[in-house]
């Protein structure tokens, strides 16, 4: 598959025309042009995306929810009602349309949510779905392609690269999943 076909597959994925949670494609080392970096685009396109990223990062530092949530929605993220993003949450500005946060979600300070990543020889973009009533502790890191179930908990500082079932808790680095019945009384 050539790079043009791969970018076409990526656009289908970004537009939601595939049921997949994760898009992957082999690439050159990230120090070389990969065809997937926004920096490979025209100067004006790169400048525009850099400005939007700066604007999002600035808004996410604020203690107020409405500017953060409004900007994320305008950038294509699906955000429910009664969502709280604590100050200094970081959300990947490249593909915010891959982010879904349902009603009643709480996300703690310094949490990082990524919707894409480059590895040595691979590009990955993935949906992040945070279901209704989930609680994300401060400093958690959520990788692309992850779904956090309804009323699930992600502990503070957890590094999450896998799905969390509804009502379960993820703790540690790398994340370990605990079911409710595993908690000591």
The answer to whether the Cα torsion of 14, 18, 19, 21 is positive or negative is: negative
In this prediction, residue 182 has a pLDDT band, given cuts at 50, 70 and 90, of: low
- Across the range 47-62, mean pLDDT stands at 93
Give residues with Cβ within 8 angstroms of 49, minimum separation 6.
Answer: 38, 41, 93, 94
Minimum mean pLDDT range among 38-47, 74-83, 97-106, 154-163: 38-47
- Across the range 76-90, mean pLDDT stands at 97
Are the beta carbons of 175 and 160 closer than 8 angstroms?
yes
Domains present along the chain, CATH in parentheses: 3-177 (2.160.10.10)
CA 8 from centroid of its chain's CA atoms: 21
Residue with more model confidence, 41 or 110: 110
DSSP strands (E only) in the chain: 22-26, 78-79, 84-85, 90-91, 99-101, 106-107, 112-113, 116-119, 122-126, 128-130, 135-136, 141-142, 147-148, 153-154, 159-160, 169-171, 176-178
Give pLDDT, residue 1: 63
Give pLDDT, residue 181: 54
pLDDT per residue over 147-156, tens digit each?
999 999 999 9
């Amino acid at each position: 598959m050539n790079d043009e076909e791969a970018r076409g597959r990526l656009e289908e994925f970004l537009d939601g025309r595939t049921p997949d949670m994760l898009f992957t494609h082999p690439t050159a080392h990230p120090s070389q042009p990969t065809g997937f970096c926004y920096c490979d685009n025209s100067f004006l396109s790169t400048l525009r995306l850099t400005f939007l990223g700066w604007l999002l990062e600035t808004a996410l530092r604020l203690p107020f929810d409405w500017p953060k949530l409004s900007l994320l929605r305008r950038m294509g993220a699906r955000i429910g009602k009664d969502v709280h993003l604590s100050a200094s949450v970081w959300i990947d500005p490249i593909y915010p349309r891959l982010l879904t946060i349902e009603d009643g979600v709480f996300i703690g300070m310094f949490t990082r949510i990524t919707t894409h990543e480059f590895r040595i020889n691979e590009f990955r973009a993935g949906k992040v779905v945070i279901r209704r009533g989930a609680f994300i502790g401060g400093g958690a890191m959520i990788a692309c392609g992850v779904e956090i179930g309804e009323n699930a908990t992600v502990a503070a500082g957890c590094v999450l690269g896998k799905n969390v079932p509804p009502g379960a808790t993820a703790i540690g680095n790398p994340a370990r999943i605990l079911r409710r019945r595993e908690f000591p009384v």
